[in-house]
Copies of this chain bind each other. A is one copy, B any other.
Amino acid sequence: MTTPVTPVVAVAYHSGYGHTAVLAEAVRDGAAAAGATVHLVDVEKITDEQWALLDASDAIVFGSPTYMGTASAAFHAFAEASSKRWFSAAWKDKLAAGFTNSASKSGDKLHTLQFFTVLAAQHGMHWVSLGLHPGWNASTASENDLNRLGIFLGAGAQSNSDEGPDAVHKADIATAEHLGRRIADTARTFVAGKAA
């Protein structure tokens, strides 16, 4: 009989106006519901202690709004600062995943997720996809379906820029929760496999 594994998941995010923070909390809730220990880290205010939490995590989920076609400048400052971890290969073989929010349905969100995959690969991390078929096979598909936007590398959300964080779409929140569960479950499998 093996001891149950508790994976450790960090959510490293930046939020400009609060919409992305709602998604970060949804990822956290999904991962926690799946039994993970979760650290929620606002990268704009990251402390040495929080860097250490990232270093000790089994998986890091990157989150940022999409501004001008890529992650926010605050997220990019964090990514550049992670080069210290790159030199020591501190994040090698960890899992990674990502999510992003923008004001339009498509809105170059894919480019932000592509950046996250490249950042993860630079660190030697493995990328966990969203793993959700979009609800678009039929004209009866609903805006309330999970992955309503049809994104695959990670979780995407569309929020009107003139509405506050409380207006983040319920389906997008549920999609982010799904990503949290998925990264926790995948991390559990991975950690258990290393111990086997």
Contacts and interface: CB of A to CB of B under 8 A. Distances in A.
Interface of A: 2, 5, 67-73, 76-77, 79-83, 86, 89, 92-93, 95, 102-111, 114-115, 117-134, 136-139, 141, 148-153, 156, 158, 160-163, 167, 186, 188-196
A44 to B, nearest CB: 12
Given A70-B115, A125-B129, A129-B120, A163 B139 contact: yes
A111 B114 contact: yes
Contacts of A167: 139
Contacts of A69: 115, 118-119, 121-122, 152
A106 B103 contact: no
B153 A92 contact: no
B150 A119 contact: no
18 contacts: A93-B131, A103-B136, A103-B150, A104-B134, A105-B105, A105-B150, A106-B149, A106-B151, A107-B151, A111-B114, A111-B115, A123-B129, A124-B129, A126-B126, A126-B186, A139-B162, A189-B193, A192-B196
Contacts of A195: 196
B138 A162 contact: yes
Nearest to A86: B68
Nearest to A102: B150
B86 A79 contact: no
Contact of A73 (B76, B104, B131): B76
Contacts of A132: 124
B110 A106 contact: yes
A159 to B, nearest CB: 10
